[in-house]
Amino acid sequence: MSSTEDRAFKAEREIGRINAFFPILPTLGNRWAASRPWQGSTIALNMHLTTLTGALVRELSLGGGTFIVSAANRATTDPNTVAMLRSAGIEVYTGGDDADRHQQALSHNPDFLIDVGFELIAAALDRRPDLHGTLRAAIEITRSGVVRLRERSDLPFPVVNLNDGRLKTAVENRHGVGEAIWQAVQRLTGVHLSGRRVAVVGYGPVGTGIAAYARAAGMNVEVVERDPVKRLLAHYDGFPTPSLEDAVQRVGILVTATGRSGAVTMEQLGRARDGLVLLNAGHGGDELDIKGLRQGSAQVDHVADRVVRYRLHGGPRITVLGDGHPLNIVLNSGSPEPVLLHFALVGLALDWVAHTELSPGESVVPAALEDQAASLALQALEQCGG
Ligand SMILES: NC(=O)c1ccc[n+]([C@@H]2O[C@H](COP(=O)([O-])OP(=O)(O)OC[C@H]3O[C@@H](n4cnc5c(N)ncnc54)[C@H](O)[C@@H]3O)[C@@H](O)[C@H]2O)c1
Over residues 187-207, the pLDDT tens digits come to 999 999 999 999 999 999 999
Tell me how far apart the alpha carbons of residues 164 and 167 are, in angstroms, rounded to a whole number.
Answer: 8
pLDDT mean over 247-268: 96
pLDDT for res 150: 96
73 touches ligand 1 (CB under 6 Å): no
Where residue 75 falls among pLDDT bands split at 50, 70, 90? confident
* 58-83: average pLDDT: 96
| Percent of the chain at pLDDT exceeding 70 | 99
What span, in angstroms and rounded, lies between the C-alpha atoms of 246 and 226? 14
C-beta 22 within 6 A of ligand 1: no
Which atom of ligand 1 lies at the shortest distance from residue 224's CA? 33
State the pLDDT confidence band at 293, using cuts at 50, 70 and 90. very high
Q: Which residues of 76-104 are buried (b: 16+ CB within 10 A; e: fewer)?
A: bbbebbbbbbbeeebbbbeeeebeebbbb
Q: Name the helix (H) or strand (E) containing 180.
A: helix 177-189
Provide the pLDDT for residue 215.
Answer: 98
pLDDT exceeds cutoff 90 at 346: yes
Bridge partners, residue 112, by sequence: 43, 137
For ligand 1, say whether the CB of 256 is within 6 Å of any of its atoms: no
Give the pLDDT band of residue 211 (cuts 50, 70, 90).
very high
Closest ligand 1 atom number to CA of residue 147: 19
How close is the Cα of 264 to the center of ligand 1, in Å?
13
Q: How far is the CA of 207 from the centre of ligand 1 (A)?
A: 7
pLDDT over threshold 80, residue 386: no
Q: How far apart (Å, rounded) are the C-alpha atoms in residues 158 and 163?
A: 15
Burial string for 328-361 (b: 16+ CB within 10 Å, else e) reads bbbbbbbebbbbbbbbbbbbbbbbbbbeeeeeee
CA distance 195 to 253: 11
Q: Could you tell me the distance, in angstroms and rounded to a whole number, from the CA of residue 173 to the centre of ligand 1?
A: 9
The one-letter code for the residue type at 382 is: E
Q: What is the pTM of this model?
A: 0.84
DSSP calls for 117-145: SSHHHHHHHHH-GGGTTT--EEEE-SHHH
CB of 326 sitting under 6 A from ligand 1: yes
Mutational test site, ligand 1, from 46, 115, 206, 280, max ligand atoms within 8 Å of CB? 206
Q: Single out the residue of 230, 229, 232, 210 nearest to residue 221, CA to CA.
A: 210
For atom 30 of ligand 1, which residue has the closest CA?
263
The response to whether residue 283 sits with its C-beta less than 6 Å from ligand 1 reads yes
Which domains can be identified in the chain, with CATH numbers? Answer: 3-164+334-383 (3.40.50.1480), 172-324 (3.40.50.720)
CA of 252 to the centre of ligand 1 (A): 21
Please tell me the number of Cα atoms within 13 Å of 201 on its side-chain side: 26
Centre of ligand 1 to C-alpha 34, Å, is 39
Q: What does pLDDT average to over the chain?
A: 96
Q: State how far the alpha carbon of 72 is from the alpha carbons of 48, 58, 142, 325, in Å.
A: 5, 18, 12, 12
Q: Tell me the mean pLDDT in the region 199-228.
A: 98
**What mean pLDDT do residues 84-113 have?**
97
Does residue 235's CB lie within 6 angstroms of at least one atom of ligand 1?
no
Residue 251 contacts residue 197 (beta carbons within 8 Å): yes
CB of 148 closer than 6 A to ligand 1? no
pLDDT score of 154: 84
User: Sorting pLDDT into bands at 50, 70 and 90, what band is 168?
Assistant: confident
pLDDT band at 44 (very low <50, low <70, confident <90, very high): very high
List, in sequence order, every beta strand (DSSP E) within 171-237.
197-201, 220-224
Specify the residue with its C-alpha closest to ligand 1, atom 33. 225
User: Ligand 1 atom 27: the closest Cα is on which residue?
Assistant: 258
Closest-lying ligand 1 atom to the alpha carbon of residue 327: 1
Angle, helix 51-60 to helix 79-87, in steps of 10 degrees: 20
Going from the Cα of 168 to the center of ligand 1, the distance in angstroms, rounded, reads: 14
Report, as an integer, the average pLDDT of 161-178: 93
State the Cα–Cα distance between residues 331 and 181, nearest whole angstrom: 9
Contact 161, 133 (CB under 8 A): no
Q: Give the separation between CA 281 and CA 328, rounded to whole angstroms.
A: 7
Instruction: Please indicate whether residue 227, judged by its CB atom, sits closer than 6 Å to ligand 1.
Output: yes
Percentage of the residues of the chain whose pLDDT score is greater than 90: 94
List pLDDT tens digits, range 109-128: 999 999 999 999 999 999 99
Taking only the tens place, the pLDDT of each residue in 1-39 is: 679 999 999 999 999 999 999 999 999 999 999 999 999
Model confidence band, residue 362 (pLDDT cutoffs 50, 70, 90): very high
Q: What is the pLDDT of residue 114?
A: 98
Task: Say whether 241 sits in a helix, a strand or coil.
Answer: coil
Q: For residue 227, which atom of ligand 1 is closest to its CA?
A: 37
Please report the pLDDT score of residue 145 as a whole number.
95
pLDDT of residue 64: 97
pLDDT at 97: 94
Q: What is the pLDDT of residues 261-291, one digit of tens each?
A: 999 999 999 999 999 999 999 987 789 999 9
Name the residue of 258, 321, 339, 346 to mutate for ligand 1: max ligand atoms within 8 A of Cβ: 258
- Contact (CB, 8 A) for 294 and 266: no
The answer on pLDDT for 58 being more than 90 is yes
Q: Catalogue the E-assigned strands of the chain.
A: 42-47, 66-71, 91-93, 112-115, 137-140, 158-161, 197-201, 220-224, 253-256, 276-280, 297-304, 307-312, 317-321, 361-364
